[in-house]
Amino acid sequence: MTRASRIRRPVIQATSPEQPDTHAMLAHAVEEAARLLKADGAMVYLVEDDRLRFAVDAGIRNEEARQLIRGLSLPVGVGLFGHAVATGEVVVSQDYRHDKQFQHSAVADRIVAVANMRSMAAAPLIAEGEVIGALGAYSSQANDFDEAEIALLRALADHAAATVANQRLIDRLARSQEELAHRVEAQRTLAEMAAQLTSLRTPSEVLTQTLKAAVRLLRGHGGQIGMVITHPDGSMRWGDGHSLVHGELAPFTKYDHTTVDDGVSGRALHEGRVSWTDDYLIDASFAHDRPSDEIASGLGIRAVIAAPLIGASGVIGVIGVYAEEPSAFDADARELLGLLADQAAIVLANARLDEQLGEESAALARQTASQRRLLQINERLLSTLDPASVLELIADGLKTVVWYDYLGVYRVDPSEGLLRPVLARDRNAEAVLGFPIPRGQGVTWWSVEHREPVLLNEALSDPRVIRIPGTPDEPEAIIIVPLISGDEVSGAMNIARRGGVEVAFSDADFELVQLFAGQAAVAITNARLYEQLRQLYAEVEESERRYRHLVDNSPDIVWSVDDEGNFNFFSDSLEARTGWKAQDLLGRHFTTFAGEGTLPSAVSAWARLQSEPNREQRVRLDLPLPDGRLAQTEVAMTGTVVDGRFAGAHGSVRDISERERLEGDLRGQAAELAASQERAHLARELHDSVTQALFSMGLTLRTLELLLDVDESAARTKLGEARELQQDALAEMRTLLFELRPASLESDGLVQALRTHATAVQRRTGLVIVVDAEPIDRLPLTSEEALYRIGQEALHNVVKHANAENATIRILREGDRIRVSITDDGAGFEPEQVPRGHLGLIGMRQRVDLVGGDLRVESRTGGGTIIEASVPIDEVESAE
Amino acid sequence: MTFSPRPAAPSIPRLVIVDADRRVQQSLADLLGVSGEVDVVGRAGDVRAALKEVERRHPDVVLVDPRLPDLEAGLALIRGLGTAWPGLRIVTTGWNDTDGHSVGDPTTLYVSRTGSPEEFVSAIVACCAR
């Protein structure tokens, strides 16, 4: 094999962070060294962190040697190359394995053995006074390198060192340019985030955007960002957050609120600044948590860096980035993450403020929704008497503002000491409806008895909670509100969510449920009132039905008028009793229905009602009928008072025509009785006065007769007494006779005597008698008495037989005759059928005949009667 | 000079006249006194006076016109006298109308005024003697 043939293209790729250009230049250097020194091969080691690491070679073909040399790293001073680096001198060994001038390494010796190396020379690479490595060549021959070759190696080494130094400068420049670009990008990213983040509306978006930017800018493989809550005890616990693994974002929620006290994140939080590790799993400078370590191991996490998010009130979160290589994060990365975290904290604070505003406006919206629902419920409460539909509406309305997966409404049943379910919604509804809660059991009873609403977010842990048969024993959050209206607890409403603390009800929820429960209380109370009202309505209906029956079937007409006196109601009996239809009379004034003669009574009764509405007034009114007749009626009425104000009147009208007739008959009988009493009076007067006087006179005369023979003077005395008795008797007789004759006829004349008599009859009987007379001259007493007696008899007949309401006596002169007529509107009669001697008609005719007059009788059944007597004035005068 | 009845024999019945009309009292007392068959010991015009006279005079017979002035007053007097003085004889008088008979008391006697004065006095005397 020629030397040239021993020169090979470098094939071993170092894991050095050196740039490919440096590597290529070194490969070229070892090839040149092997060729120029006619060696079997050449190698370069570079110094890195006080150790020599193999960089590149030419000529090693043995596979074991290649494997070993690839990972070779020797301390400075060990081995031939290490000795060259340590001394800064060219070192030559003519037989490597037996050379004692340097410290041997087992690995290096093994490589030398298997690669068949005997002679070896190494020259230090010195750049800017610093040994940066060593360049050497080897040969399988002992003593193969001469002085000239050694000098050449030194020259090659110097050249390579310069080249490496230059390349390193170039690399550093390039790297710093790249770094600059990276910084520019980071700045730009930060600026973009600043702009972008301010437009983000939720903390969740801020977190994810920050995490993505951090992983990209730090060239990490993944990371996580999360909110942190500082508890009152000072411990910091996880809140919501996001992880980014293998390019995938995933939210996480640590409901158990585990403390953040382990790992790099924990250290960053506790120190309040950026913290990092080059290799997570083997770093013992922070506390390890087994689950976290398992995750790190599973994901191949090596380098980790974390920064706290610090807001105005302290730590609010933490961001961490990991890389799958160790030592991935340098000072620049640390600075960058710190900047990102600060920026995120600010934006996050803004976002939270924003979200708070959003929450407030959401709360406002919820409030508005509640108000609207409550208003709807209120309207329904007012518009419906059906409590079930209102409770359904309350349940629907509540669900739109406070989500629940169970709702129940209970009613207190005091008679049985139970809480009776009246409504159950959704989860377990059937089991709830089938289980009235016995008194004293469960939180619902507790709430009812203490009149206190209850909020339990961990209901399972409350000893008062009972389990309703048929429902699973599971964690839930519940709210129970007693339904209180007035002083009374009428029931309870409860709602529940299944789950742990994450379904907890907020204070706002609690308040809203109480608001809706208030409405439910009203609905429950209404249900009871509704039932009472329904019964009341039934009673009222019944009594109204009975009352209407009475009104409709009573002989009375029931009516009412408004405050101006216009009719606004008539009972149905109106038409049957009077022939008037209600629609003909409604709206008309009451004075339209008082006959002329009784109108003043009606008006004065109306006036009395207005001043004393509560006092019943009774008046007799003539009610005009549709056929023009007047019905005699008695009207009873009282005022209608509304709000203490006179608002009209109501009352009844009773047709008293029949009663009047009965009363008329009674008056007739009374008159007869009076007449007979008058006769009895006269008889008694006769007995008491005249009869006794005459009897005594008889006795006295008999005494006188006996005394005549015995005692004459005594007899004479008795004679005187007898004469006195006779005078007494005469005087008394004259008085009685005078009483039997109308004295007024003699003194006042015919017209006045008839007026007086008519007045007396009207007063005694109620018959309305109009005396219509023109002034006439006095007639002879016989004529006047004849006409007087005829008038008297005719009125007597009217009262006794005609059943009339009105009678008229007319007295007038017609040419040479005085005419007296008595007219009535009574029953009338058929003159031909009147039996002889009845009605005093014959007596009348005899009387009028005696004075040369005529008598005319005009009557028919139902058409009233006219009796007319006329006497000639001449005849009268001639009779005088 | 005024009339004075002569002293009555111890055997003749003592009589009190009760009549509302003073003229009847006077004329009847005069006539009965003149007849000498009864001793008129007292006169009264009303119930109260009648009871006083009976209590004071202790008559054998009381002659009553029940109209004092009402019939009811006379009937009350008759019942009262019968109760207070069981042995007292009561004679009613009248005009044959309802008055006297309506008393309807079997213990009382009735004398009508419709006859002549002589018959009237005789009837009274007869009643007193029974």
**What's residue A128's pLDDT?**
76
**What's residue A677's pLDDT?**
52
Number of Cβ within a 10 Å radius of residue B65: 24
Candidate from B20, B31, B67 with C-beta closest to A699 = B31
Residue type, A729: A
With a cut of 60, say whether residue B101 has pLDDT above it: no
Q: Is A185 part of any domain?
A: no
A527 and A576 part of one domain: no
Q: How far is CA A868 from CA A762, A793, A822, in A?
A: 20, 12, 6
A673 and A793 part of one domain: no
Task: Indicate yes or no: CB of B117 within 8 angstroms of CB of A698.
Answer: yes
A727 and A749 part of one domain: no
Q: What is the nearest CA distance from A770 to chain B, expressed in angstroms?
A: 41
Return the SS3 of A101.
coil
Least confident of A312-326, A639-653, B35-49: A639-653
- Phi and psi (nearest 5°) for A127? -125, 125
A161 and A29 part of one domain: yes
- What integer is the mean pLDDT of A719-726? 86
- Buried-state track B45-63, b at ≥16 Cβ within 10 A, e below 16: bbbeebbebbeebebbbbb
Distance, CA of A335 to CA of A445 (rounded, Å):
62
Q: Is A134 part of any domain?
A: yes
Least confident of A243-257, A410-424, A446-460: A243-257
**What's residue A16's pLDDT?**
42
- Buried-state track A116-137, b at ≥16 Cβ within 10 A, e below 16: ebbbbbbbbbbbeeebbbbbbb
Structure-token pair, residue A247: 């390019």
**What's residue A12's pLDDT?**
36
Q: Could you write out the three-class secondary structure of chain B?
A: CCCCCCCCCCCCCEEEEECCCHHHHHHHHHHHHHHCCCEEEEEECCHHHHHHHHHHHCCCEEEECCCCCCHHHHHHHHHHHHHHCCCCEEEEEECCCHHHHCCCCCCCEEEECCCCHHHHHHHHHHHHHC
Residue type, A293: D
Q: Is A631 part of any domain?
A: yes
Radius of gyration of chain B (CA): 13
* Domain, as residue range, for A856: 744-879
At which residue do the structure tokens 């910091």 appear? A236
Contact residues on chain A for B35, CB-CB shorter than 8 A? 706
Strand order in the sheet with A567-570: A567-570, A557-561, A645-655, A630-642, A617-624
Q: Is A184 part of any domain?
A: no
Instruction: Say how many domains are in chain A.
Output: 6
Task: Please state whether beta strands A557-561 and A418-426 pair in parallel, antiparallel, or not at all (unpaired).
Answer: unpaired
- The neighbouring-strand residues paired with A686 are none
Please tell me the CATH code under which domain B14-116+118-122 is placed: 3.40.50.2300
Percentage of the residues of chain A whose pLDDT score is greater than 90: 9
Q: Is A849 part of any domain?
A: yes
Show which of A340, A357, A374 is a domain's final residue.
A357
Percentage of the residues of chain A whose pLDDT score is greater than 70: 78
Show which of A357, A392, A427 is a domain's final residue.
A357
CATH number of the domain enclosing A410: 3.30.450.40
A621 and A679 part of one domain: no
Return the SS3 of A653.
strand
Structure-token pair, residue A861: 């059944």
Q: What is the nearest CA distance from A701 to chain B, expressed in angstroms?
A: 9
Top-confidence residue, A50 or A807: A807
With a cut of 80, say whether residue A63 has pLDDT above it: yes
A512 and A561 part of one domain: no
CATH number of the domain enclosing A782: 3.30.565.10
End-to-end CA gap in chain B: 36
Distance, CA of A348 to CA of A213 (rounded, Å):
15
Kindly state whether B28 is in contact with chain A, defined as any CB-CB distance less than 8 angstroms: yes
**What's residue A863's pLDDT?**
85
Helix (H) or strand (E) holding A739: helix A712-739
A682 and A625 part of one domain: no
Top-confidence residue, A348 or A511: A511
Distance, CA of A42 to CA of A646 (rounded, Å):
135
Least confident of A202-211, A521-530, A532-541, A706-715: A532-541
Q: What does the mean pLDDT of chain A come to?
A: 79
**pLDDT one-digit tens code per residue, A733-764:** 765 654 555 666 777 788 888 888 787 777 66
**What's residue A744's pLDDT?**
65
Q: Evaluate whether A865 touches A823 at the Cβ level (below 8 Å).
A: yes
Number of Cβ within a 10 Å radius of residue A551: 16
Q: Is A362 part of any domain?
A: no
A521 and A558 part of one domain: no
**What's residue B86's pLDDT?**
85
Candidate from A693, A706, A714 with C-beta closest to B23 = A693
A618 and A522 part of one domain: no
Structure-token pair, residue A83: 């000795």
The conformation of residue A467, written as its DSSP 8-state character, comes to P
Helix (H) or strand (E) holding A641: strand A630-642
Residues 6+ apart with CB under 8 A from A349: A311, A312, A316
What is the distance, to the nearest Å, from the Cα of residue A443 to the centroid of all Cα atoms in its chain?
25
Show which of A120, A154, A173 is a domain's final residue.
A173
A35 and A58 part of one domain: yes
**What's residue A284's pLDDT?**
84
A403 and A434 part of one domain: yes
A633 and A669 part of one domain: no
Q: Is A458 part of any domain?
A: yes
Least confident of A288-292, A666-670, A747-751: A666-670
Candidate from B34, B116, B117 with C-beta closest to A707 = B34
Residue type, B69: P
Task: Indicate yes or no: CB of A702 within 8 angstroms of CB of B24.
Answer: no
Q: Is A376 part of any domain?
A: no
End-to-end CA gap in chain A: 210
Residues 6+ apart with CB under 8 A from A70: A12, A54
Distance, CA of A158 to CA of A665 (rounded, Å):
169
* Domain ranges, ordered by start, for chain B: 14-116+118-122
**Residues of A within an 8 Å Cβ radius of B:** 687-688, 691-693, 695-703, 706-707, 710-711, 713-714, 717-718, 721, 725, 728
**pLDDT one-digit tens code per residue, A815-849:** 888 999 999 998 888 877 766 556 677 778 877 88
Task: Indicate yes or no: CB of A696 within 8 angstroms of CB of B23.
Answer: yes
Task: Indicate yes or no: CB of B1 within 8 angstroms of CB of A717.
Answer: yes
